[in-house]
Amino acid sequence: MDQYADNALIQSFLKIPEHQRLYQTYVDEKTKEAEEALDRAFQKYYVEIRLIRILSNTLKRHAIRYDQKRKQQNQRLLLILDQPASCEADTTTTNLDLIKDSEAIPVEQAVIEKEDRLEDKIENPALYHAIRSLTPRQRHVLESYYLKGMTDTEIATKEGVSQQSISKVRNITLSKLKTYLLEWDKHERCP
């Protein structure tokens, strides 16, 4: 075995505790069964290593081919929208600039606004339907309180109403949600 001590495959094989145990059993006992058990374990390990290597090389080749195809497509299909809008040399306006909608909401802002909606955060179907059953004002109070972390006073100031009014709306809304969820639960248990 000393002749294989420098072999990286043997070293990686023996790093596995089960394989170390099989090897030690073979060294200690020198029986045919121990030798066969060690040999079977090594053959299985070798097949796994070869399979991993083949898969790795295949994935690498596919990734390279994919990149080459993408580059080739990008060179063939140059975007006309990126071209200058006029033939004048000093213009920096592109065709894309001419068709942009000045009223359009940037994607980042649309995502942020969507994330501020309570129903977009709910995964439980019963709670989702309960939230959808609320009035816009009730949803707004819950979103402000729970998603934006605003206090009743801050919400009241923003809406121009009293803090007690916001507190009352929030409590009624929570009570309504509780009732809705209890009814949903009853219908789920007793269809």
Confirm whether 82 is domain-assigned.
no
CATH number at residue 171: 1.10.10.10
Q: Determine, yes or no, domain membership for 62.
A: yes
**Cβ pair 44, 13 in contact under 8 A:** no
Per residue in 36-70, pLDDT (tens digit) is: 999 999 999 999 999 999 998 889 999 999 999 88
Clarify whether residues 66 and 113 are in a common domain: no
Classify residue 84: in a domain, yes or no: no
Return the pLDDT at 170. 92
**What is the reported pTM?**
0.40
Model pLDDT, residue 77: 65
What DSSP state is assigned to residue 119? Answer: G
119-150 pLDDT, tens digit per residue, is 777 777 888 888 888 899 998 998 888 888 88
- The residue out of 76, 94, 129 marking a domain boundary is 76
Number of structural domains in the chain = 2
Q: Let me know whether 66 and 114 are in one domain.
A: no
Range of 19's domain? 2-76
Decide if 88 is inside a domain.
no
User: Within a domain: residue 56?
Assistant: yes
Within this chain, do residues 72 and 114 fall inside the same structural domain, yes or no?
no
pLDDT recorded at residue 130: 85
The C-alpha torsion from 119 through 120 and 121 to 124, rounded to 10°, is 60
- Dihedral of CA atoms 7, 9, 14, 17 in degrees, nearest 10, equals 160
Given a cut of 80, whether residue 161 has pLDDT beyond it is yes
